[in-house]
Chains A and B, each alone.
Chain A
């Protein structure tokens, strides 16, 4: 009889999976929420079809300005007039302080939008003291 060996083989090491599953669900909820927030700040539009630049560091945009095909300015699903946008841009620069030189707001402009609208947005950012912007493109061709 080989009773000792059989008993050793039937031994089970109890591993509690509950904490791991909890963490996995927490991660799932986090990614779902952040994906929804990212879509919230980016309006649906046809971006200019350009290859763009090979940026070494994709820093966070901070401010995402959407310029729609009709020329309206949309930030976080809210339509702003130019005066409000200028106030927002000025506050952004004041809040940034010394780091304002590194500000690179992301401007998402519809490819069919008039350049007059883009000029107004960039002029407001320039007057506020923003040194450079990033213009979003859709790589396609």
Chain B
């Protein structure tokens, strides 16, 4: 038999000491704020190192891949596609956009330029729409 009115149960108050949890929460907040500011965000480029022969025999593979050569001439970085040379990455990007994308792009970096020039060539290849970009390390 239920004697106590229903509304009395609803008046029960649960008292919790929240101070410890709030202390810890603020510590965590401060820690993540500090580490987020300190650590630098990084992205990545993913060039292949080996030639993908899995789809050999298709019509796309009958075409030769485009080759971008990165070199240093008279102290300046020069990107070359065949006989054409480009001194700015905008020109390189415009030229790459006009090329067929199927056979992929090879980036061949000669000893001399900095890593920044090599990364720029890979980035231009990706921005131009090449799905397969292969880095060809030159053996000195």
Binding site for B on A (CB under 8 A): 4-5, 8-9, 11-13, 15, 17, 20-21, 24-25, 28, 31-32, 35, 39, 47-53, 55, 67, 104, 106, 108-116, 118-120, 122-123, 125-126, 130-139
Contact = CB atoms under 8 A, between A and B. Distances in A.
B35 to A, nearest CB: 6
A30 B9 CA distance: 42
Secondary structure dominating the interface of A: mixed
Interface of B: 8-9, 11-17, 20-21, 24, 27-28, 31, 35, 39-50, 70, 109-120, 122-123, 126-127, 135, 137-140
Nearest to A119: B137
A55 B46 CA distance: 9
B50 A126 contact: yes
Nearest to A12: B15
B115 A48 contact: yes
Contacts of A111: 114-116, 119
